[in-house]
Structure 1
């Protein structure tokens, strides 16, 4: 990034950071009523419209996601093509959600109206050619249509896996794997002088994904070590290829956690369930994001850290609204937004 664009991006990120939900705000937000939440976050129109609970929930989530993606578009404007490509690759997860909805619709022959009701309306910079994809006769034709354009690598990998296995689970796992592999690939295209802070941030993201997938595939789904390793994405952080290869052969949650490198080992020590591991790993990612946002120098790394934290805040706000719409007790809402640990964590089931 040029000397002129770097200060501009850093200034914009710092200004946007005022919109983030601070960690010490979350508990207080859990006590607000639905009208108070609506007024605080500008959601009055969406929540006052005469729609049913499901439509209101969907409208709020759509509005929050669009706000996040609009901010992404603002932040990539001063970036060069390589930097913008990396940040856009992160934001394309929402198009991936839509792709999975379309694929499930084809797989299970769902009504088109039902499929459309579950799609996000996304801005142009991350949008799928949905109308064209709707007209596809089946999964393979849909993926072939998508092989032209920015989603070509994801579509090609998904098609090849589905042609071989005809397994919906394997197809979705391949799409997720390609999504994270693409971010790691784009990081390598960034000049070495600008990689350090981005590597720290994406390393934390990929460490989280790699460990959660490893535990899920081995112990929840009962896959073999080799099958599990095939599904994983080596991290640019702590859980690189060789470390994943050693971890995947261990036979219990406790053994894997004991074999982790620091600081993951200390952060996850004593975890009793996959839910607890997931919460603590999420905390590691948000902690690293806050550290870079506060102390980092790279405008691109700080922008991506901001977007990760903004997304975290969006999910918190949606959980708060959803809890109010469903009339859930405050205790459950606090668990959902991780303001309070679950009283009865689910036991971790290891494979027999």
Structure 2
């Protein structure tokens, strides 16, 4: 549905500025050159000529340098999300703020993991995505905590505190961060769903289509992962997922927990034409490679959806969301590409793990 006059006025200025950010995404010739470059040195030299050039230190190639570059790449994606957020106000601005907070969520998980592994504060700090001065969490105080219980108590004034306290006894029994990370995920993504529903009219429709699809994807992936890798009970799988997203609910999750095949689930959720029949045929639950294939299939579907949003009618919230998604997927692909070249993978093997398809 085409946006009305008020929506056009609201997003015209924002779109003009986001188009400037769109121009910094990698074009197809540059992406092809990076993908086909023979080693990480050549790739990084080529990347220096792009909008990512300021992040590149070619002298630091190797796994330690690559890990540092990964954090800086994610930091750039987080910063660009904040930039888009400043272009809008009201409920759309709140949606971008909540979406940006998934970078904070990843940092919290890294902090819990580092603490659980008895890492020193400075070692943990090097794992965190740089978020500048935007984060409201007391990172220095969090880094100085020396116990998981103390870290949870430090989060007393955040929306994570109640689910973390509820999950802590299970952490104590099993000495696994699984329950704590699931608790944070569920809390965060429920907040994201509420931010979508707080929108009105075409904004809500577009946010459901772009960000709501992400919630659908995660709910399906979580349910299959809990069933196949963690061997949880049906009740546990339902409790460890989102009870309702745009296209999924507890009944669908229960079907997955009871043994439904992934191809059937995808066709039920998105219809018979969303995915190639050959790709669906490769999704057999008894195949150890099924879950990575399912995840890649859904990520590529999301990338294509974001591309359509970004190339459609420009004066919409969907166009802004499309940019944010494309930026994050580009960063993820760049990280995959760099790691593959460090490990000496040929382009054909690397392509299996890249989300962006060839044009």
| TM-score band, normalised by shorter chain | 0.7 to 0.9
Larger deviation, residues 98-107 vs 18-27: 18-27
Distance 1:339 1:3 in 2: 30
1:169 aligned partner: 178
Show the 5 A alignment for 1:77-156.
77-126=86-135, 128-148=137-157, 152-156=158-162
> What are the Cα deviations for residues 138-182 of structure 1, in whole angstroms up to 9, with x where unaligned?
22221222232xxx1223312221145534111111111222111
Runs (5+) with no aligned partner, structure 2: 1-5, 284-289
1:303 aligns with 2:313: no
- Are 1:271 and 2:272 counterparts? no
Alignment correspondent of 1:58? 67
**In 2, distance between residues paired with 1:340 and 1:11?**
27
Establish whether residue 37 from structure 1 lines up as the match of residue 47 from structure 2: yes
1:294 positional shift: 1.6
Partner of 1:346 in structure 2? Answer: none
Once residues 221 and 325 of structure 2 are traced to their aligned partners in structure 1, the CA distance between those partners, rounded to angstroms, is: 18
How many pairs were matched up?
Answer: 337
| Counterpart residue number, 1:225 | 234
What TM-score comes out, normalization by structure 2 length? Answer: 0.82
Task: Find the partner of 1:158 among 164, 189, 192.
Answer: 164
Aligned to 1:350: none
Q: What is the aligned partner in structure 2 of residue 291 from structure 1?
A: 308
Deviation at 1:131, TM superposition (A): 0.6
Q: 1:316 to 1:192 in 2, by over 3 A?
A: same
Partners of 2:8 and 2:315 within 8 A in 1? no
Q: In the alignment, which residue of structure 2 is the partner of 1:9?
A: 14
> Do the aligned residues in 2 keep the contact of 1:136 with 1:142 (CA within 8 Å)?
yes
* Inter-CA distance 162–19: structure 2 relative to 1 (3 Å threshold): same
Residues 43, 60 of structure 1: 8 Å contact kept: no
C-alpha distance in structure 2 between counterparts of 1:292 and 1:52, whole Å: 36
Q: C-alpha distance in 2, partners of 1:42/1:193?
A: 34
How far apart in 2 are the matches of 1:333 and 1:339? 12
Cα 1:157/1:271, change in 2 over 3 Å:
same
**How many Å separate the matches in 1 of 2:226 and 2:187?**
17
Question: What is the DSSP-based 3-state SS (H/G/I as helix, E as strand, rest coil) of the residue aligned with 1:19?
Answer: coil
Please say which of residues 198-207 and 313-322 is displaced more in the overlay: 313-322
In structure 1, C-alpha distance between the alignment counterparts of 2:272 and 2:217, rounded to whole Å = 12
Q: Separation in 1 of the partners of 2:267 and 2:74?
A: 38
In 2, distance between residues paired with 1:16 and 1:208? 26
TM-score w.r.t. structure 1 length? 0.84
Return closer, same or farther for 1:23/1:229 CA change in 2, 3 Å cut-off.
Answer: farther
Aligned Cα root-mean-square deviation (Å): 2.9
Correspondence for 1:20: 25
Q: Deviations over 1:36-64 (max 9, x none)?
A: 33334553773333x46233212322332
Distance 1:266 1:134, change over 3 A: closer
Matched residue, 1:48: 58
Name structure 1 gaps, 5 residues minimum: 342-352
Distance in 2, matches of 1:63 and 1:105, equals 19
